[in-house]
Structure 1
Amino acid sequence: MSRIVVFGAGGRAGRRVVAEAVARGHRVTAVVPDPATEQDLAGGAVALVAGDVTRADSVATVAAGHDAAISTVARLDVPSEEFYVSAAHALLDGLGQAAVGRLVLIGIGTILETAPGVRVHDAPGFPAEGRAFSLGHAAELDVLRTSDTGTDWLMIAPPPTLLDAEAERTGRYRVGADGRVLPSADGTALFSYADLAVALVDEVETPKHHRTLIAVAP
């Protein structure tokens, strides 16, 4: 059993990560901006706390005593690059202060490459708003790659499509370790939040990829 701190625990991905980790016997600290609005998360093996992922001191406080961290955070009320760059710096600094050695983050499928040096969001006609949001994740990845940190981080990107919020957990997924979009296995299946959570917790329990971006898909 490990102690895992989950940032962004109140979102679609975060909630499934909390459930997946608890189902495997881990103790979880669920970090949200306002615990009063997420009380259903609390109880049993889950401690619900307030935290600010853009402040290293807050990250260090809530992460102290944990074995690993998972970040599923998202904000739409501030510019994407501002938020994700701030969060990346705060997570690395705060987890370093708390001596938490493993960080697994959710990326976005649009930063995956379709050809060497060409990301999904570089396609002609890609929506400007979506590209701006994707560029924030790309900037976050740049921070991770260039930081002098002792934290063993990994970014996991699902396919560059909508995720299935209703599909049940299968426990199965494919991995692409070169930062490229994985070709569709059958052309129809959407990747589920539940199986994305499986991939995230798997990389906490048994780290196989280090300081890189990987793709996952059904």
Structure 2
Amino acid sequence: MKLTVFGATGGIGQEIVRQALEAGHEVTAVVRDPARLPVTGERLEVFRADLGDPAAVRPAVAGRDAVLSGLGARRRADAGVATRLTRTVLDAMEAEGVRRLLVVSAAPVGPEPEGAGLLDRAVRGAVSAVLKDVYTDLRAMEAELARSATDWTAVRPPQLQDKPLTGRYRTVIGGFPPKGRFAGRADVAHAMLAMTEDAGTVKQGVGVAY
């Protein structure tokens, strides 16, 4: 497949690029600073662009089979970037007629897991309170997706970890895995690549966790 990856220098973005190349895909990684992307490969194109301008990123998405995005706030002070930058991606995709889009959101944006206990609800509530602005941003981002003409999927992991790819995780379309408190960035990337051709995840939020 021909894939474009936004947020390619982030933890999940780098894993998407690396795993996609290993799987034999052609990858265009959209970055502001190419020096921050340590991944290399014959099938990799590094595309430098200002994400404030949809016209500037249209060449990066033109003719692609799917677009995957790890864009989002890396700290509370960055709240708002997910919606703003995703809107740029959506505008570019719609201008080029590219439909498939997968983005990283977060577990608290979706529904509570079925059968969630007091501890799980308490932890979820505490995290949501601390990161209120970040999750408000992600909810707004998902609203932009829902209004778009794209075949989108919002992947919603819980607390992220830096650990090797396991390929062993749970996914719930339209919900969240019970007692799923952690997910490795490499496994979230793996899940996103697996969902790229999964029609059942189109226009859905998907919870991913161990």
Same-fold status (TM-score > 0.5): yes
C-alpha spacing 1:11/1:76, structure 2 compared with 1 (3 Å): closer
Q: Structure 1: which 5+ residue stretches go unaligned?
A: none
Higher fraction of helix: 2
| Contact kept in structure 1, 2:18 and 2:39, CA below 8 Å | no
Q: Structure 2: which 5+ residue stretches go unaligned?
A: 115-120
1:8-157 matched pairs, under 5 angstroms: 8-38=7-37, 40-76=38-74, 79-81=78-80, 83-114=81-112, 125-126=126-127, 128-147=129-148, 149=149, 151-157=150-156
* TM score, norm. by length of structure 2: 0.85
1:194-209 matched pairs, under 5 angstroms: 194-209=186-201
The one-letter code matched in structure 1 to 2:199 is P
Matching residue within 200, 205, 208 for 1:213: 205
Q: Quote the Cα distance in structure 2 between the aligned partners of 1:155 and 1:56.
A: 21
* TM score, norm. by length of structure 1: 0.82
SS in 1 for 2:153: strand
The one-letter code matched in structure 1 to 2:168 is R
Structure 1 residues 66-107: Cα deviation after superposition (integer angstroms, max 9, x where no partner): 1110000124576523x2222232222101112222001111
Structure 1 residues 20-74: Cα deviation after superposition (integer angstroms, max 9, x where no partner): 1111110101111111333x32432111111233432123121122111000012
| Contact kept in structure 2, 1:121 and 1:131, CA below 8 Å | no
Report % sequence identity: 27
| Contact kept in structure 1, 2:109 and 2:139, CA below 8 Å | yes
Q: Quote the Cα distance in structure 1 between the aligned partners of 2:113 and 2:66.
A: 33
2:154 pairs with 1:193 = no
SS in 2 for 1:205: coil
Number of residue pairs aligned between Structure 1 and Structure 2 = 203
Q: Quote the Cα distance in structure 2 between the aligned partners of 1:5 and 1:201.
A: 12
SS in 1 for 2:161: coil
Residue 9 of structure 1, CA deviation: 0.5
C-alpha spacing 1:85/1:121, structure 2 compared with 1 (3 Å): farther
| Contact kept in structure 1, 2:128 and 2:135, CA below 8 Å | no
SS in 2 for 1:176: strand
The one-letter code matched in structure 2 to 1:67 is D
SS in 2 for 1:181: coil
Q: CA RMSD in A?
A: 2.5
C-alpha spacing 1:208/1:52, structure 2 compared with 1 (3 Å): farther
Q: Which residue of 1 aligns with 2:118?
A: none
Structure 1 residues 153-182: Cα deviation after superposition (integer angstroms, max 9, x where no partner): 1111112x2x2212x22223222122x332
- Of the structure 1 ranges 195-204 and 89-98, higher mean CA displacement relative to structure 2 is found in 89-98
